[in-house]
């Protein structure tokens, strides 16, 4: 019985395995582009790289020669574009054909008490490399390892200059030209970088957890990452009272990148900001435009709250406006719904340090929005569906809040929303990450998630 119960519980925890709030697929088209950028970048950057010192020893019949090759720089490199393709179920295969490289550097040898040194130049022609990289999830982060590597070298030329003695070139060369170990080291560095970057610090209040919820999935035409995609408050990280739902990403082969962002991802951001205490603003009369018909002044508020100017004539007021609950966003076929609960606390300012509490209002807003991308811009329209208001508390007797509600509706519909919509019609620039920006893109609102398919422009591309 216990066994059955345990098994059943295990089943439950299994099905409660975390659903990814972010899903992304890099297509074959995307892979080709990434490989192209990497080749360009390497080709341009190799000449500035100082190669690490190579040390070793060679046994000859008289004893052992210890040598070091150092201060090496790449003076020329012909890097052909590799052929890359996804290897279903594993990762990616990479074939590089005809890499040639020329290096200069200094050499030193120690053979017993004989020390010698000079400089050298080295040219390696027609390196062919054939490698298979494996994509995995290691401790919940995306990791790349070298599963297989073969390399051969067509032709090598080395000239040692200076020094009295000459070393046995071929032995040193065999040790030095270790293409696969060097390649493997490069992949290890990329892997270390990935392991150290599974969190994005958005600002000083929230961060985004990018750990994987399961292993990367490699198809023959793309590869998919399922990412936790949950925002946390830096100050007080905690789980929100809602959880991610499963969604199926309808990825597009003819775009480089497809991304699905679930409601949970967005709502966890709202929750994290709420927890960080930043969804709050103090509004003073100084912040209201001079031309506004309404000012934060007890005399002027007489039309809304008749008893107010009688009790506190002619005083400036302050409003603390804050979210009382997590703003909830939902994606529902073509529209985004936003539910907002807020409170406004009104006080009269007797002196900068002495505020007299007056009353507070509880408000529920409901908005709906349509958004789309147009090139590099995010465009759309926002509409208020509903606004309700209640008197939360009052220190100055009860009053009818209908005039307040009507005023708020007028302010929203005649001032706030037209301003936001004018901006949304013109478009907001989509963020570009480290110089990478969207070129062609398509965005749709699906049931429970937002879908974006895009081609990316690299910052290196514009240099050409």
Q: Which stretch binds ligand NAG (CB under 6 A): 92-100, 180-188, 314-322, 394-402?
A: 314-322
Q: Which of 90, 221, 297, 394 binds ligand NAG (CB under 6 A)?
A: 297
Contact string (CB under 6 A) for ligand NAG, positions 375-394, x = contact: -----------x-x------
- Give the count of residues interacting with ligand NAG (CB under 6 A): 24
Residue 111, SS3 per DSSP: strand
Asked if residues 74 and 99 have their Cβ atoms less than 8 Å apart, the reply is no
Q: Is 444 in the site for ligand NAG (CB under 6 A)?
A: no
Q: Which of 182, 215, 364, 444 binds ligand NAG (CB under 6 A)?
A: 364
Q: How far apart are CA 421 and CA 42, in angstroms?
A: 45
Least separation in angstroms between CB 11 and ligand NAG: 20
Q: How far apart are CA 151 and CA 101, in angstroms?
A: 14
Torsion of CA 376, 245, 19, 449, to 10 degrees: -10
Asked if residues 391 and 399 have their Cβ atoms less than 8 Å apart, the reply is yes
Residue 406: count of CB within 10 angstroms of its CB: 13
Closer by beta carbon to ligand NAG, 185 or else 235: 235
Both structure tokens of 397: 């007797």
Q: Is 457 in the site for ligand NAG (CB under 6 A)?
A: yes
Q: Is 199 in the site for ligand NAG (CB under 6 A)?
A: yes
Residue 378 CA: distances (Å) to CA of 109, 336, 427, 447:
63, 14, 5, 20
Q: Which stretch binds ligand NAG (CB under 6 A): 121-129, 176-184, 255-263, 327-335?
A: 327-335
Q: Is 287 in the site for ligand NAG (CB under 6 A)?
A: no
Q: Which stretch binds ligand NAG (CB under 6 A): 148-156, 180-188, 297-305, 425-433?
A: 297-305
Question: Which residues in 112-169 belong to E strands, given as ranges?
Answer: 114-138, 141-161
User: Could you tell me the sign of the dihedral formed by the alpha carbons of 116, 117, 123, 127, in that order?
Assistant: positive
Least separation in angstroms between CB 451 and ligand NAG: 16
Least separation in angstroms between CB 386 and ligand NAG: 4
Q: Is 100 in the site for ligand NAG (CB under 6 A)?
A: no
Q: How far apart are CA 139 and CA 215, in angstroms?
A: 10
Least separation in angstroms between CB 10 and ligand NAG: 19
Q: Is 224 in the site for ligand NAG (CB under 6 A)?
A: no
Q: How far apart are CA 406 and CA 414, in angstroms?
A: 12
Q: Is 132 in the site for ligand NAG (CB under 6 A)?
A: no
Q: How far apart are CA 60 and CA 147, in angstroms?
A: 35
**Residue 414 DSSP class:** I
Interface residues with ligand NAG (CB under 6 A) are 140, 199, 209, 211, 228, 232, 282, 297, 299-300, 314-316, 320, 330, 332-333, 337, 355, 364, 386, 388, 439, 457
């Amino acid at each position: 019985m216990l066994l059955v119960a345990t098994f059943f519980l295990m089943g439950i925890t299994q099905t409660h395995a975390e659903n990814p709030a972010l899903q992304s697929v890099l297509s074959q088209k995307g892979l080709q582009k990434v490989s192209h950028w990497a080749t360009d970048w390497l080709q341009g950057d190799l000449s500035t790289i100082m190669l690490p010192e190579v040390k070793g020893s060679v046994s000859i019949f008289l004893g052992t020669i210890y040598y070091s090759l150092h201060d090496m720089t790449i003076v020329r490199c012909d890097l052909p574009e590799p052929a890359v393709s996804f290897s279903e179920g594993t990762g990616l295969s990479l074939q590089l054909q005809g890499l040639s490289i020329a290096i200069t550097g200094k050499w030193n040898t120690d053979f017993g008490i004989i020390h010698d040194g000079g400089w050298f130049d080295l040219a390696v022609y027609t390196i062919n490399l054939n490698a298979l990289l494996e994509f995995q999830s290691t401790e919940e982060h995306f990791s790349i390892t070298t599963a297989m590597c073969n390399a051969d070298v067509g032709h090598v030329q080395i000239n040692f200059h200076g020094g009295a003695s000459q070393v046995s070139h071929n032995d040193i060369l065999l040790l030095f030209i270790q293409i696969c170990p060097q390649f493997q080291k490069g992949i290890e560095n990329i892997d270390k970088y990935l392991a150290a970057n599974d969190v994005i610090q958005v600002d000083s209040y929230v961060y985004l957890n990018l750990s994987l919820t399961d292993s990367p999935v490699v198809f023959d035409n793309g590869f998919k990452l399922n990412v936790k995609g949950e925002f946390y408050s830096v100050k007080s990280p905690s789980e929100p009272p809602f959880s991610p739902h499963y969604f199926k990403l309808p990825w597009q082969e003819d775009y480089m990148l497809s991304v699905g962002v679930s409601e949970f991802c967005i709502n966890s951001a709202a929750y994290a900001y709420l927890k960080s205490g930043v969804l709050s603003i103090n509004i003073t009369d100084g912040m209201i435009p001079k031309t506004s018909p309404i000012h934060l002044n007890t005399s002027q508020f007489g039309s809304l709250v008749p008893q107010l100017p009688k009790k506190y004539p002619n005083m400036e007021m302050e409003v603390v406006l804050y979210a009382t609950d997590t703003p909830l966003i939902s994606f529902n076929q073509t529209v985004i719904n936003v539910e907002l609960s807020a409170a406004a606390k009104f006080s009269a300012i007797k002196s900068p340090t002495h505020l007299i509490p007056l009353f507070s209002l509880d408000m529920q807003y409901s908005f709906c929005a349509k958004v789309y991308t147009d090139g590099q811009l995010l465009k759309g329209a926002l509409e208020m569906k509903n606004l309700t208001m209640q008197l939360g508390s009052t220190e100055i007797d009860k009053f009818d809040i209908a005039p307040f509600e009507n005023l708020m509706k007028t302010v929203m519909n005649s001032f706030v929303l037209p301003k936001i919509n004018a901006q949304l019609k013109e478009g907001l620039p989509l963020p570009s990450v480290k110089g990478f920006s969207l070129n062609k893109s398509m965005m749709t609102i699906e049931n429970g998630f937002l879908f974006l398919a895009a081609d990316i422009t690299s910052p290196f591309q514009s240099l050409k």
